[in-house]
Amino acid sequence: MIDAIIITVKLAGVTTVALTLLCTPLAWWLARGQSGWLRNCVEAAIALPLILPPTVMGFYLLLLLSPEGLFGQFFDRGLAFSFTGLVIGSCVYSLPFVAQPLTASFRQLDPQLIQLGQSQGLNRFAVFRHIILPCCGYAFVAAAALGFAHTVGEFGVILMIGGNIPGETQVLSVLLYDEVESLQYANAHRLAGGLVVVSWVILFMLYRWQRGRGGFHVGA
Amino acid sequence: MWELKLGAHQIRWPRGAWVGISGPSGCGKTQLLKQIVSGQSGQLQLEYNNLLERPQALRGIGWAAQGAPLWPNQRVEQQLRALAERHKSENWLALAAEFQVLPLLEKPTAILSGGERQRVALLAALLCADKLLILDEPVSALDQQAASEILMALRRAADQRNLSALLVSHQWRDLAASCDFCYQWQSRQTLDINRAQHELTEQSPVQAAALWPVQWCQDRRQWMAAGHAIETGPLPTTINRVSIDAHEVSIARRHPGPSSIANTLQVEIGKITALDKTSALLTLHWGELRLYSLITHRAVRALDLTPGLGVFAQFKAHAVKSPQA
């Protein structure tokens, strides 16, 4: 069980960091980009994991990441049934949960503030640090928390592309499935209860923090 | 020499001078300033170098935007210190004292009042400016006295570094307090600020009188406004031209002293015409004015009156008439 906890936390952590890095420029383009129809196409694609059954996503990912697949062929044994494959699958599946809060937050940003920062001689990094991050910091925290919590709770995609290899791709939700299948209800209770409590605490802290601060203060 | 060419607008002004842009609300003044700041079109030349071709960090423009936006969710000091470090301004604390920003340094920018925000935004623009300040309604939230003080402090600090400025304000007093030139949006003309004020006075004296308390300054023999040595030109509403029919004009060599029924003018004798054995008609000049006095030959001899002599003419007013009457 300890192995499964470590793999789950590691998977959720790596996925959250990767998605935050990937989604920041993506959300910026979605919120403020010029191209109308292309943006709508990408937005719709990003939102697909919200409505598709995880098995559909898992099926296509399995085909892509298998040793003969479009991406998997570039790796010795493919990417399916490996931790890297799990990270890719989790990133695709949790993408809307990270991208959408960031996009919504960037849309509300006053364009005059960006123009002001640029006129004050700030480079892109400084504009991000002094203007975008203080305005949208809460959205980054919300996006990261949602991404993390959603990855912890992922099941279908992981089962499809990760298999169930203890110590490598077996995460808590899959282990729980195993325990129920083998009628180990006591273990299943511990896992299920633990996941409920952890997820609830993450969401509680997020809402509590959002209400308490109403914004994001840098070094105040 | 500065030169701005943007759309239909072309403004030229000397280095170090301030230009106020005046025009009706909604004509696009703020948009013009934003276009200069974004630098996507037009030319802003200083000594024939187009600043807008440079990267924004190297243009040396300080912008105080309308509504005084500040860095969000930070303390005032964080913004000002970061800007001062970025633009290598070592005396920013002294400037903060002059702009009355010192008590605000520890406050988050979100809780500042409108006037406080404008003071901080002006200081931020000053820290960023190396060549030009672009000020969009920079003191609209301040009362008249504070607005003038802060504009004059800004002008002093700008003059020390030979900074020019483009200032948009709906208040003529802001332009009068700080600018050297006025760009009139509708006529596309850049006028000396005094000339612009003069024109405004002539075109609309009622509005001018509402803008400035106008007083006649005896020492300078000028119309003065709001304590500034400003040539406002004649105010048609305060001058009343009349003609006076003089009656019983008498002549004296010395000033006859105050009188309740007679008026006294110092005049020059033009011509002495003998009418008959006893009477003579004197033509008296007072500038362009002519007075005629009927006196005796004896009086002419007794007073030793000759053409060209300066005398005092006393007369009763017979009728006061306006020229049209």
pLDDT tens-digit series, residues A165-199: 888 888 888 899 989 999 999 999 999 999 899 88
Q: What is the ipTM of this complex?
A: 0.74
Instruction: Write down the pLDDT at residue A18.
Output: 96
Confidence band, pLDDT 50/70/90 cuts, at residue A27: very high
- Could you write out the DSSP letters of every residue in B256-295? ----SS-EEEEEEEEEEEE-SSSEEEEEEEETTEEEEEEE
Q: Which residue would you say has higher pLDDT here, A209 or B298? A: B298
Averaged pLDDT score across all residues of chain A: 88
By residue range, what is the domain housing residue B235? Answer: 204-239
Q: What angle do CA A76, A81, A82 make, to 5 degrees?
A: 65
B187 and B216 inside one domain = no
- The answer to whether position B197 is within a domain reads no
Torsion sign (Cα): B49, B55, B58, B60: positive
CATH 1.10.10.1150 fits A2-213, yes or no: no
- The answer to whether position B87 is within a domain reads yes
Mean pLDDT of A79-87: 87
Instruction: Write down the pLDDT at residue B158.
Output: 92
B224 and B250 inside one domain = no
Give contacts of B108 with chain A, Cβ < 8 Å: 217, 220
B146 and B7 inside one domain = yes
Instruction: Write down the pLDDT at residue A97.
Output: 94
Q: Does A3 touch chain B (CB under 8 A)?
A: no
Q: What angle do CA B162, B163, B166 make, to 5 degrees?
A: 145
B169 and B31 inside one domain = yes
B175 and B251 inside one domain = no
Q: How many Å lie between the alpha carbon of B35 and the closest alpha carbon of chain A?
A: 11
Q: Does B12 touch chain A (CB under 8 A)?
A: no
Instruction: Write down the pLDDT at residue B242.
Output: 59
Give contacts of A122 with chain B, Cβ < 8 Å: 57, 86
Domain boundaries, chain A: 2-213
Instruction: Judge: B63–A116 Cβ closer than 8 Å, yes or no.
Output: yes
* 325 residues of chain B, pLDDT tens digit each: 999 998 889 999 999 999 999 888 888 889 999 999 988 888 898 888 888 888 888 888 999 999 899 999 899 999 999 999 999 888 899 999 999 999 999 999 999 999 999 999 999 999 999 999 999 999 999 888 888 889 989 999 999 999 999 999 888 888 888 899 999 888 888 988 888 877 777 776 666 655 555 566 666 666 655 444 444 444 444 445 556 677 788 889 888 887 777 788 889 999 899 888 888 999 998 877 788 888 899 999 999 999 999 999 888 876 666 554 3
Q: Does B118 touch chain A (CB under 8 A)?
A: no
Give contacts of B87 with chain A, Cβ < 8 Å: 121
Instruction: Write down the pLDDT at residue A2.
Output: 84
Give start and end residues of each alpha helix (H) in chain A: 2-32, 36-51, 54-65, 83-108, 111-119, 124-127, 133-152, 156-162, 172-181, 185-213
Instruction: Write down the pLDDT at residue B84.
Output: 93
